[in-house]
Amino acid sequence: MKRKLLALLLACIMTVSLLPVAGVSKADTVYTVILDPGEGSDDAQIVYRSDKGTIASNWSAAQNCQFYIEDDGSMAFKLDPYICPFTEKENYEFDKWSNSNRYIKLTAAETTITALWTYTPPAPPAASCTISPAAYTLAGSGYTDIPCTIETLVLGTIQTEEYGEKQTTVVSFEYYGGTLSDNAGHEIPFKVDDKWHFGPKDSTWNGNFYSLAGDQFKMSVWIDPQDFDAAPAGTYTGVLNYTCRWQSNGVNFITGDPGTIALTLTVAEKPAFVSQDLLLSGEIGVQFFVDLSMLNETDKANTYVTFAISGKGKDSIDKSEFHPDEERKNSKGYYGFICKVNALQM
């Protein structure tokens, strides 16, 4: 009986001596636990080995991410289900581990535990658009077609009063007439039109929709020739205001921050009558002198003066065109246009 008790006691001592506890030799098997970041992080895997560091003697003594010995002598690993050592990517939030137990009994030499994440899609971007040019010089009276290019375009969402948030698919532009000023109290109004010039208006849109940066179109500005001719010489400036005309599923919405194109218009000095004299050379001619110094040669060649003649004889119209003739110039360099009349019309 004593021999049997002694044998049992020795067996127990041998069993205890084989347990891999702190300060005691470890078991022969080396256990590896790999923490994998999963899709929610770009960090590298974290590897833990049972032959590196201290093994806790039991579950209550174990720290997070530490090996310990279970009551039955098997190897285990403690992992806090709410703590993740990985840096999350944008729009990802740590949810749990693939093994959600805090105390994990290891049944294989290598165990991989993967971080699981919750992904929240980013909010869609707001619709936005920029165009060029930022400034343009108008040609004069009548129509000026301003060539425009879409520089940046984001077909994002817009907020509408009636339908709430809407996803845009294409964009167009609405633009508005205004006024040019020389900052001296003189103004020239302008209107706008589409590229087909159907007729100047206070506001219009360019008639097409666009979906790509780099798309090109025209905005047309119209200045009444009478307003232009009546304006004093000088430099006139103003802005062409526009706003985006977004479309979503075939419905148009005018929204977004307005944009502007700075406009410049130069009104040159106009030819003016400065003197006249009487010519007697078989016919009676009244010569009116005009200052043409502000015109180039092409404009001079297209210059003429129309005279409405009335008197005791029959009313008539006489047209005097420009001819590059030195004899038509007076001592001051002004050019003469001749109106021929008879005695009854004097």
pLDDT (0 to 100) of residue 5: 37
Q: What Å distances lie between residue 251 and 74, 121, 163, 208, 311, CA to CA? A: 69, 26, 11, 14, 67
End-to-end CA, the chain: 164
Q: What Å distances lie between residue 201 and 173, 178, 205, 263, CA to CA? A: 15, 11, 10, 18
Token code pair at residue 67: 């090996």
Return the percentage of the chain with pLDDT > 90, whole number. Answer: 57
Name the CA dihedral angle for 312, 313, 315, 316, rounded to a multiple of 10 degrees: -130
Residue type, 204: T
Using an 8 Å Cβ cutoff, are 159 and 123 in contact? no
d(CA 100, CA 86): 16
Name the pLDDT band for 70 (thresholds 50, 70, 90): very high
d(CA 332, CA 246): 61
CB atoms within 10 A of CB 287: 17
Report pLDDT digits (tens) over 208-218. 899 999 999 99
* Mean of all residue pLDDT scores within the chain: 83
The pTM (predicted TM-score) of the whole model is 0.57
User: Which has the higher per-residue pLDDT, 46 or 23?
Assistant: 46
Angle subtended at Cα 332 by Cα 328 and Cα 336, rounded to the nearest 5 degrees = 25
Report pLDDT digits (tens) over 258-312. 899 999 999 998 776 656 665 555 567 777 777 777 777 877 777 777 777 665 4
Report pLDDT digits (tens) over 226-236. 999 999 999 99
What is the helix (H) or strand (E) element at residue 146, kind and residue range?
A: strand 142-154
CA 186 to chain centroid: 35
